[in-house]
Amino acid sequence: MPGRFWKWRMHGGAVSLAQEYRQKAVEASLILASSMLDLSTFLALTRDVTSRVPTAVYFHENQLAYPWREGDRDRQKGRDVHYGFINFVSALCADHVFFNSLYNMRSFFHELPRMLRHFPDFRLGDSIREIRAKSRVLPLGIDYSPLPCAALEDCVLAKHEQNPVILWNHRWEYDKNPGEFLEVLLSLVSRGLDFRVILLGESFRHKPGEFETACARLGSRVIHRGFAEKRSDYARLVGMGNLLPVTSIHDFFGISVCEAIYSGAFPLLPRRLSYPELVPEEFHEEVFYESANELEERLAAELSCWHQRVDKRKRVVEHLSRAVAGFSWQRMAPVYDAAFNAVVAGDIPHAPASLINCS
């Protein structure tokens, strides 16, 4: 189904997919649903043909911990718990529950009791324990092609000897916090610091108004702005970036962050969300910041001493690129095979090292 109208997809998508499933008379050995599907409704509408099929739900994100847009009409009308409830019953009826990060899983179980306390009685505490017992972390597999790998290619590392290029490669939406990012950049401009900017990413219905104003002030510093239609163009532009300041208020994993790190960008990440799981602990002090002011000062320090810090940055970038390469599909596919085979066999998938017990 087209990737739009996400709220309607969570309400009605299960009905449409159930109809299609029945029409095609699918013989499945496993039903794997994303968290955007109301799995309970789907299974209810197909129960005569799916009652014996093992099921798993994969949480790429969860609506209990997803930040609401300011002014959202559902929240204003008191409907803000319903989408989290769909996630809850989907997890409850699935045989196994997978989360793409430990942060995602912890945020789900942190928020779930709070959501259920909205209701007057029968608050279903035993159901939380039931879901927890069948939940595991299964990190994403990422298709890094045709991105260059900084851990393998000297030409990518050499870009740190060139002038600094700040990279943004996320959606231009509120949850990625572009306003803070642009504010920091403009402050660096006012300090007279030298850098260029690549502004990648897709805008949907709500394009931040500050974007056009900031681009006008950045002027010739902007190498590229807008969505890259071709994957090869995206890879080329990401490969040009050598500084990656991230300001997101929501990220349950961080695919675009991994892609930039894989390609040799030096990241400056908020010490929140899922990012600490992507970076080896020995580099946390070099990579993570606590506030917007600290991000600005860390960026200013890098830009002021850019050519003096080349060797240090190259060392960090090489290690980090190798670390996030562990999420490549070539490495993760066997882990997924083992996890899904275990679901089909009716086993709790303890074996693969990448599956972290929720305890």
Query: Using one digit for the tens of pLDDT, what is the confidence trace for 55-68?
Result: 999 999 998 887 65
The pLDDT value given to residue 158: 81
Give the position of tokens 């790190």: 261
Mean pLDDT, to the nearest integer, of 285-291?
Answer: 96
Q: Is the pLDDT of residue 174 over 70?
A: yes
Q: Is the pTM of this model over 0.85?
A: yes
Whether the per-residue pLDDT at 205 is higher than 80: the answer is no
Q: Are 221 and 197 in contact (CB under 8 A)?
A: yes
CA angle 4, 181, 242 (to 5 degrees): 100
Sequence-ordered alpha helix ranges (H) in 160-248: 178-190, 210-218, 231-240
Domains by residue range for the chain, with CATH: 6-141+329-357 (3.40.50.2000), 154-326 (3.40.50.2000)
- How confident is the model over 78-129, as pLDDT tens digits? 556 788 899 999 999 999 999 999 999 999 999 988 888 777 677 677 889 9
φ, ψ dihedrals at 100, nearest 5°: -80, -10
Angstrom distance (rounded) from CA 142 to CA 144: 6
The residue with greater pLDDT, 25 or 231, is: 231
